[in-house]
Amino acid sequence: MVTSIDIKKVSSRDKVVIDLDVWMDNPDDYDFSPRVSLVDNLLSLSVEVESNEFEVLASAELDDEALQLAERDRVVEARIKFSVHGMHGTLTHKTPNPRTGPNAKKLAEPRWKIMLPLQ
């Protein structure tokens, strides 16, 4: 299950693009279906916690240009980077030359790019 969502950046090009960091507890948890809603100029991201019950985990205010694009298209593009507590984080003991050391490989960082309709 998702523990937290951080909105890194909201940008507007030809559509509204949201960069997200999503933190999860378990690497085998595949149940993530975000919902996006727009009330006035506040964009809210929510996830399903129980059947048909949603919890808002992140929100951001949109500027006028992004608000017009979101209302015109009624869809936003989400770029999501998943991380798992206990697997991803900061290394405390780094190898001086990472090309030859035992820590030469990095853990995979799964990423999504998805179009989410506004509700």
- The verdict on residue 20 lying in a domain is yes
CA-derived radius of gyration, the chain: 17
User: Which of 116, 7, 112 has its CA nearest to residue 59?
Assistant: 7
Q: Considering the entire predicted model, what is its pTM? A: 0.77
- The verdict on residue 102 lying in a domain is no
DSSP string, 36-66: EEEETTEEEEEEEEETTEEEEEEEEE--HHH
Q: Domain span at residue 29?
A: 2-88+109-117
What digits encode the pLDDT tens for the residues 75-98? Answer: 999 999 988 877 656 556 665 665
- The verdict on residue 31 lying in a domain is yes
pLDDT of residue 59: 95
Q: How many domains does the chain have?
A: 1
- The verdict on residue 100 lying in a domain is no
